[in-house]
Structure 1
């Protein structure tokens, strides 16, 4: 067994120190928000600089956040958009990827070119708004699900994964009487679960973080997703409705901690999901990078 040289050990130490520092830099903004949300509101508004620990821990801001009906309604709406939207996304993407990955499909390269073309050029916001309006989807949940039913980038990734599955499996299944839907849902998708997990993560995170389409297409507050409620609280400073039982002199400090608490509440669920699915990110990127 060869001994490691001084240069190799020095390089390893340098890498560990560098990556640890970068990890802390990346993690600190989240810790800052967490510590601020748990600290005494009066102390938070007087702090200038970094916060390294929560002072006089209190959960008053979180109580006000969860007592706000808009937050709970936003959570429910976001869950609906994530579950229903991701289901539609996976269904549409898998159907398109399967059709375009089969060698016998005519004009598939031309169709693929038109799909890729939309990644570089699109109709723009106003034509899209007019289309959604003419289809009668304004101020409805469909406006956040149907227009984003499929991503061209994700279609390319899934198509490339399907192309890696031997055609002989499909041929043998069709000899036994299976149709294309049976081949897709009983053979292709079960063999492609890693890329399906990638798609669920990509689409799910997109729906969870989405707020712009809701801002454009929705008018009814009962349909707002959580991120749009969070935007209102952070940008328009709309925390007064959440502090009905707070004294006038205490509203400004508690209003600041409410903002931090809302960020944590909106971010924590997706952060808990990331560690379990993060490994599929690398696989998904590699799948899209290996073949056309």
Structure 2
């Protein structure tokens, strides 16, 4: 069996075999391998980009283009028309739903990050009072779901039905996110906490002034998880929200695209014509906000997804 050696050159360490050659996986790939990689990556990109472009193109297509395509999706609109976006936004239903979803997403994400960071910090401190029983409860929440009926009864007993708080408070803390953030906090240098204790700094100040500034990567990842979950909140809204004027974007999208019915006013429940550009315009409005937020978190996301994968 061939053994490997570590050859240190300057500040770098290079892995070599006993015979002085590098392992096969460290060699430069040949032209065939690079071509295959390019083809695979190109296919993967096309699988992602083409459907999204088709949605945008269909939302901008006029009725003639849709008719020429047999009433289906188009890849390139012959005539660009913003009538679908005007029809969606002029009525106010989608605009109000977007505002509700933005409010729920922003408030919910901030509250969830605060609650998750506080709980994870408490569970990560050695010798914290009651940390072990609570950690067992958190681990149990990962494995077992409370169920639909108990969750509904809890929301009802707290008088949260038909309230936007029913989209935030029942899902305020995610057990998996707590475990991930706790693992990150445990990897921070112990000397930081010892220095803070010597200086007489309290736990809250240590968390806000020392821990959180060093945890931008995990906060970005967990914050993105929470934001996507709140923005796509559909099932909870379907269960807890009865008033259509309080529906978030995900529920309005379902009503327009799946049920093909209007919302509110005298036209509630009235069937809409199968206008594909109208449906695709609503879909674009629902997708774009998350796509706009992701680039600002990307530099932290790559580091954050590696949390706990490597132990130093």
- Shared fold, TM over 0.5: yes
Taking the aligned partners of 1:134 and 1:81, their CA distance within structure 2 comes to 21
Once the two structures are TM-superposed, the CA of residue 232 in structure 1 deviates from its matched residue by 0.5
* Cα deviation 1:90-147 (Å, max 9, x = unaligned): 1100001100111122453443232111112122001100111011111111111111
Question: Aligned match of 1:233 in 256, 259, 263?
Answer: 256
Q: How does 1:28-107 map to 2 (within 5 A)?
A: 28-48=50-70, 51-106=74-129
Bigger shift: 116-125 or 181-190? Answer: 116-125
Deviations 1:164-191 (A, max 9, x none): 1122212222222211100000111011
Q: Secondary structure at the match of 1:62?
A: helix
Contact 2:58–2:75 (Cα < 8 Å) also in 1: no
SS for the counterpart of 1:131 is: helix
Q: How does 1:95-174 map to 2 (within 5 A)?
A: 95-106=118-129, 108-174=131-197
Counterpart CA distance in 1 for 2:28 and 2:147 is 57
Higher RCO, 1 or 2 (CA under 8 Å, sep at least 6)?
A: 1
C-alpha displacement of 1:239: 4.7
Deviation at 1:50, TM superposition (A): 6.0
> Which whole-Å CA distance do the structure 2 matches of 1:140 and 1:206 have between them?
18
Q: Distance in 2 between matches of 1:219 and 1:50?
A: 33
Mapped contact 1:156–1:288 kept (Cα < 8 A): no
Alpha-carbon contact 2:221-2:305 (below 8 Å) kept: no
Residue of structure 1 in register with 2:273 after alignment: 252
Distance in 2 of aligned mates of 1:103 and 1:41: 65
The number of equivalent residue pairs is: 281
Give me the whole-angstrom Cα distance separating, in 2, the residues matched to 1:285 and 1:70: 37
Gaps of at least 5 residues in structure 1 are 245-250
Higher Rg of the two aligned structures: 2
- Taking only aligned residues, the RMSD between alpha carbons, in angstroms, comes to 2.5
Q: Which residue does the alignment assign to 2:203?
A: 180
